Amino acid sequence: DVKVTQSSRYLVKRTGEKVFLECVQDMDHENMFWYRQDPGLGLRLIYFSYDVKMKEKGDIPEGYSVSREKKERFSLILESASTNQTSMYLCASSTVRQYSNQPQHFGDGTRLSIL
């Protein structure tokens, strides 16, 4: 079974802090994704990566950056955390680069609170 592991289930940070959310997958998947989930809005794509050192902006990239130095690890960075970034963050991975109908495998999520 594919395992997508997010480093923290719950995280509390202060405004202005630099925040790192880590995600690791163990199935050698090419694609990795970061989403945020807010009530009434569904999941929204922040960034995705289809290869090491490759990244593309999703629908809501403002205030975020990402890093993919190794194939199995995809990090989401909040450069200067703000209260409107309080949310549930979900990482996912999938195989094959593009035009793939393979399912995405999700981590358990990180509930981030910015005070």
Partner 1 sequence: KNEVEQSPQNLTAQEGEFITINCSYSVGISALHWLQQHPGGGIVSLFMLSSGKKKHGRLIATINIQEKHSSLHITASHPRDSAVYICAVRHYNTDKLIFGTGTRLQVFP
Write the CA distances from 31 to 9, 26, 87, integer angstroms: 22, 12, 23
Which span (16-24, 66-74, 78-86, 88-96) binds partner 1, by CB under 8 A? 88-96
Tokens 């079974």 identify what position? 1
Q: Contact between 43 and partner 1 (CB under 8 A)?
A: yes
Q: Which is nearer to partner 1, 4 or 81 (CB)?
A: 4
Residue 1 touches partner 1, criterion: CB under 8 A = no
Does the footprint of partner 1 cover residue 46 (CB under 8 A)? no
Q: What is the dihedral of CA 100, 103, 108, 109, to 10 degrees?
A: 40
Q: Does 41 bind partner 1 (CB under 8 A)?
A: yes
Tell me: does residue 44 bind partner 1 (CB under 8 A). yes
Q: Which residue has the tokens 């996912």?
A: 92
56-59, Cβ contacts within 8 angstroms, sequence gap of 24 or more: 58/33, 58/34
Residues that bind partner 1 (CB under 8 A): 9, 40-45, 58, 88, 90, 92, 98-109, 111
